[in-house]
């Protein structure tokens, strides 16, 4: 009984011709990542960290990463937002974890949406936050690294 609300977000098998307003249909995977998000929290002493937001809808997200060698060994997020924002942030962490920096930087918004089996068109802007947060956390890591080495120029990562 406690999970009945999830049915509101599932696409009906047959169209409801009585409904006249816009509907949002989420895949089972989107609902799962929204109700059971992965990698939630903050990393103590992260190598990189960023807060990003979407002013158009008020969603906000914090991403922190831990890097060992050239690989993301841990990634966490905290998000305030709609089901799409939380689900895409969760999926982004799953896709990025274990990847090299180069591989992580190659992840796109479309990769996240495809991995979730799609999200409603008017919620696709939510996926931008996850990838933007990932890239921002990686950039922060390199800024911190440059400061530790006493350099001010940033080098691109391979």
pLDDT in tens, 47-67: 999 999 876 667 889 999 999
pLDDT at 157 (0 to 100): 46
Average pLDDT score over the chain: 81
Inter-axis angle of helices 28-35 and 83-96, nearest 10: 90
* DSSP H/E element including 85: helix 83-96
Kindly state the percentage of the chain with pLDDT values over 90: 49
Q: Is 141 a catalytic residue?
A: no
Annotated catalytic residue: which of 68, 82, 126, 141?
126
- Please write down the long-range contacts of 114-118, taking CB distance under 8 Å and 24 or more positions apart: 115/91, 116/27, 116/29, 116/30, 116/33, 116/87, 116/88, 116/91, 117/27, 117/28, 117/29, 117/30, 118/27
pLDDT at position 22 over 80: no
Annotated catalytic residue: which of 57, 68, 82, 141?
57
* Predicted structure pTM score: 0.76
pLDDT at position 121 over 90: no
Q: Is 57 a catalytic residue?
A: yes
* Rounded average pLDDT over 63-85: 92
pLDDT at 151 (0 to 100): 45
């Amino acid at each position: 009984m406690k999970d009945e609300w999830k049915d509101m977000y599932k696409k009906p098998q047959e169209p409801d011709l009585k409904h006249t307003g816009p509907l949002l249909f989420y895949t089972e995977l989107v609902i799962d990542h929204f109700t059971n998000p992965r990698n939630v929290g903050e990393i103590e002493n992260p190598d990189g960290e960023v807060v990003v937001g979407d002013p158009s809808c008020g969603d906000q997200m914090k991403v922190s990463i831990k890097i060992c060698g050239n690989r993301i060994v841990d990634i966490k997020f905290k998000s305030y937002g709609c089901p799409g924002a939380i689900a895409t942030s969760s999926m982004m962490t799953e896709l990025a974890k274990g990847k090299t920096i180069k591989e992580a930087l190659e992840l796109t918004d479309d990769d996240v949406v495809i991995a979730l089996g799609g999200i409603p068109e008017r919620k696709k802007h939510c996926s931008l936050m996850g990838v933007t947060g990932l890239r921002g956390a990686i950039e922060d890591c390199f800024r911190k690294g440059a400061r530790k080495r006493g350099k001010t120029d940033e080098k691109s990562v391979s």
